[in-house]
Amino acid sequence: MPAAGRVTAAVRVWRSSAPRGSRQARLVVAESMDGTAGPTVSAPVFADIQPDPAWMPRLRRPLGVLALVLMAAAALVELRRRW
């Protein structure tokens, strides 16, 4: 950590339960890595939760509608066959 100024770090968080596309508050704590007993610094930061990059979650709703339409068509075919 520099004595003054801004520090930027990219952190990947897996298995987050935060909603995608939201902004979450976090508290970052930093201390010396050389083992000396120095001051500990803490600062509030915000984490931007990125949207899911996978394409399958975006297809979930259209595929569900397609499945319902196919089940309804199969049910109609079976009902016509019985009558």
* pLDDT tens-place string over residues 20-76: 888 888 888 877 777 777 777 788 888 888 777 788 888 999 999 999 999 999 999
End-to-end distance of the chain based on CA atoms, in angstroms? 79
User: CB 28: neighbour CB atoms within 10 A?
Assistant: 13
Please check whether residues 22 and 60 belong to one and the same domain: no
Integer Cα distance of 44 and 46 in angstroms: 7
- At 34 the pLDDT is 73
pLDDT of residue 3: 65
Shared domain for 43 and 3, answered yes or no, is yes
pTM passes above 0.75:
no
Tokens of residue 65, six digits: 């509608």
What is the SS3 assignment for 16-40? CCCCCCCEEEEEEEECCCCCCCCCC
Domain of 61 in residue numbering reads as 53-83
Q: Which two tokens stand for residue 45?
A: 């930061």
Q: Are residues 13 and 47 in the same domain?
A: yes
